[in-house]
Amino acid sequence: MNSIKKMIQENIFILSKEQTKQFNEYFPHKVYKTERNISIIVALTQVVMMILFLFRKNIDFHEFRIVAYFSLYIYLFLATVLALVFYKYTYKRNMFKIYSWLRRIYCFLICMWLMGITLLDQAHGADLSVFSYLLPTMAAVLLVSPMESIVIFGSTWVLLITMLISFGNQDGQFGIIINSIFVTVLSIFISFRYYRSMAIEFCDRLTIENQYKEIKQVNHQLEDLAHVDQLTGLYNRHYLHQVIYPMFNENLKNNLHSMCLILDIDFFKQYNDNYGHLKGDECIKQITKVIREFCDRYDANAIRYGGEEFLIIKVDKNEIDALVIANELLYEINKENITRDDLEINHVTVSIGIWDDSMFKVETLETAIHYADNALYKAKAEGRNRIA
């Protein structure tokens, strides 16, 4: 049972409930201009027919058939003009649910007009030619769902045959019924094929959009991987060159302030030799945790600048007291108390070099980093575990 239901869904209704909601907002953009132009042609055709009727010789408006034809032309003209007005109003305001109902109503009104014309033709011995070419034409140009086409075209056929049997010419009724069934089924089939092609196009569009989003997401992930150091989760030098350098250099002429801190773990090679690289990685991760929390608090960017070197950059419209900030960072790292017994001091320490000033006083970020790096060497020369 489920397999049959699935087959019907995929081959007849095509779209799921969620896709149908999206499709109802998609298809108006595809059909609006075409259906608007067709409606204008329909309205103009009715005007032409009315003019031709009025200029016909020996026309007698006391005759029921003449009045009926003329009334049907007026009816379709007014229905089409109203449809054009409301189509435009609802479409421009994205009122797609109302827009869809208007299209259904207009389609049904055209079918009623077609039924009226056919009944008048049949009453005077004409064949089903108007019904035979206009119903399939409607199916080909007015987009309706399979269920809607069955209801609208099917009810039109039922009403037409009921009226023909009740009031029409009895001669040739069997042939008329057979031909009208064929035309109605053909129209439903054409409508279904039109709807299906539009639905498949929509599904293909959704698939492409989803694939594009997935590719975009993967690209973002790859970009993040390219910008992020895998061990620490901090930004890497690639991010520094691709993002921080341009951002810093763009603001050089603005009256902004900046600080660069370069932090280096003291005697880290010795730590690695004594405790091994796995322990060294754990040490770097613990230092990184402190740096990340610190940078989140001060709205600064942290970059893993080298193996055990870290660069912290902050830009602000107010003056930055980098020495106070660096002292706080040094205190927090010491408080982390990452133990080591290969030095006189029994925990891991760091040295920090500072540059801070107005940004316009340096030519590039490279210059600021160079000053901070010189300060770092000074801190190391003065005994490490300190700020310069």
The residue with tokens 């007005």 is 85
Contact 157, 98 (CB under 8 A): no
Residues in CB range of 340: below 8 A, 6 or more apart: 271, 274, 275, 346, 347, 348
The enclosing H or E element of 187 equals helix 173-227
Q: Rounded to the nearest 10 degrees, how much is the dihedral formed by the CA atoms of 129, 140, 31, 86?
A: 30
Active-site residues, by number, are: 308
Contact 18, 206 (CB under 8 A): no
Neighbouring C-beta atoms of residue 198, cutoff 10 Å: 17
Q: Rounded to the nearest 10 degrees, how much is the dihedral formed by the CA atoms of 337, 341, 343, 347?
A: 0
Task: Give Rg (Cα) of the chain.
Answer: 40
Phi, psi of 95 (to 5 degrees): -90, 70
Paired sense of beta strands 350-358 and 301-304, if any: unpaired
Could you please report the per-residue DSSP string of 240-270?
IIIIIHHHHHHTTTSS-EEEEEEEEETTHHH
d(CA 185, CA 338): 83
Contact 128, 157 (CB under 8 A): no
